[in-house]
Amino acid sequence: MTIKKLRNFIIVLMLIATLSVVAALNYNGYSSSIEDCIENNGNVTEDRLGFLGFSWTVACEK
C-alpha cells in the first residue's frame, strides 16, 4: 500500500468508528428515555426511531 492509500484507508476507518459510536450513544439515549418514562409510571404515546438512531422521538404521558 502506498502512503496515500494507507492514509485514505485510515481516514475511512476513523469515520466508520466515529459514526458507530455516535449511533450507539444515540440509541442509548433513546432506550433510556423509554425506560425513564416507564419507571415514572408514564405511558409511551409516541415512539419513533430513525435510521441508525440518529433521529428519534419519544413522547411520554402520565
Q: What is the pLDDT of residues 27-43, one digit of tens each?
A: 999 999 999 999 999 99
* Domain count across the chain: 1
Beta carbons of 41 and 62 less than 8 angstroms apart:
yes
Per-residue confidence band for 47, with pLDDT thresholds at 50, 70 and 90: confident
Chain centroid, CA 52 distance in Å:
6
pLDDT for 8: 96
> What is the model's pTM?
0.75
Grid cell for residue 16: 466508520
pLDDT for 9: 96
pLDDT for 34: 93
Give the range of the structural domain holding residue 25, as residue numbers without chain letter: 3-61
